[in-house]
Amino acid sequence: MAGGLFGTDGVRGRANGPNMTAEAALRLGMAAGRHFRTGSHVHRVVIGKDTRRSGYMLEYALTSGFAAVGVDVFLLGPVPTPAVGMLTRSMRADLGVMISASHNPHEDNGIKFFGPDGFKLSDADEAAIEALYHAAPALAEPAAIGRATRIDDGRGRYMEFAKTTFPRGLRLDGLKVVVDCANGAAWRTAPEVLWELGAEVIPIGTRPDGFNINAGCGSTHPQAAAAEVRARGADLGIALDGDADRVILIDETGAVIDGDQIMALIATRWAAAGRLAGGALVATVMSNLGLERHLAGQGIGLVRTRVGDRHVVEAMRAGGFNLGGEQSGHIVMTDYTTTGDGLIAALQVLAAMAETGRPLSALARVFAPVPQILRNVRLDPGARPLESPAVRRMIAAAEARMGAAGRLVIRPSGTEPVIRVMGECEDEALLAELVEGICAEIRQTMPA
């Protein structure tokens, strides 16, 4: 998390490591509660979590922090991240918190904040909370200390909302669906919604034990769902991540469909129906050049942002767009949600299948992707390889060799201690040579 307490998606780190201890969560709860404690009304926060063991520790510490500064706490238990955004708004809370490290392994955890409008916080709000985090706490008087209440039907409220996004009059009868819940927050939600809409559901990744979240399953390991689709003769597979804010799909042949293809399908359908606000899709610099070319051919614009669904949403709100997302599977549809929602995105694709009667392999091969390679180079503590003159020269030389036929995106991750090296080029051999050369040069900068 270079540059401060907050990264690209809240505060994240190794459980019981820097910024992710019970003490840190306590202070973060006090700081966030103090920042949002304005006005004379009774202040409240809703807190959800995924299935990591460390979620218990952080949930109780955050609760203590909020209560200490006079904020009432409503505990949702394990729910998808988009449910927190939805319930923050519907319960008229001052803020929402999701305890999750998304697609990361169980050793990591994170704390994401939502404002009263259900959207993730702005940079200004995060900076204000960080300043209060480092300041002396302003504790409430004894009579004003907050209280905590468990909300038992939060999951059910979200499920009912998710079903309202599926076209009225359509059903999923006759469709066999594999859903991989990554042993995470949607382990009950997603299978039940799909079953209630009429699908034959084959659930996997639905036995969380606190340690197996994202382990060999979910959107970062779609091979598990793909194997099940092939073995069971399913019509499609849905692979969610640990907090269910992203989705990867698998067609009936077992082929993986990434977020770019999902966005292309939805954008094309919405544009044809006259419901694509602003006539454009918002995506990040990581989305494939083939997506950009396809949209241009359809008369649809593409607005690119920095990596992170928060930046996508900010651009959507600023420009009046209603569809955006990331290649990794964050799909944001502000007609329905305030953040990425894997289940609701999958329901849009299922609606297309139900309406057209066409298989996913025919619907979701929307464009031919330009060859792309993404490599992650793990960083040693304190390493700053992108400041190295040798690395900069290597990158400049690679860009010159690619010319107009390709592009490079090289950046530090905001959620993991890695440098992400992404390249696209029509010449696959050249692409592989250049990306591997840059990765090797980055590794050379690490301390011996």
List own/partner pairs for 197-203 with CB under 8 A and 24 or more apart: 197/163, 197/166, 197/171, 197/172, 197/347, 197/350, 198/171, 198/172, 198/173, 199/172, 199/173, 199/175, 199/350, 200/175, 200/176, 201/177, 202/176, 202/177, 202/178, 202/228, 202/232, 202/234, 203/178, 203/179
Angle at 291 between CA 289 and CA 296, to 5 degrees: 100
List own/partner pairs for 34-38 with CB under 8 A and 24 or more apart: 34/69, 34/132, 34/137, 34/138, 35/125, 35/128, 35/129, 35/132, 36/71, 36/94, 36/95, 36/115, 36/116, 37/69, 37/70, 37/71, 37/94
CB neighbourhood size of 21 (10 A):
18
Phi, psi of 398 (to 5 degrees): -65, -40
CB neighbourhood size of 256 (10 A):
16
**Catalytic (active site) residue 40:** no
| Chain center to CA of 301 | 23
* Single-letter code of the amino acid located at 40: S
| Catalytic-labelled residue, pool 54, 102, 287, 328 | 102
Catalogue the active-site residues.
102
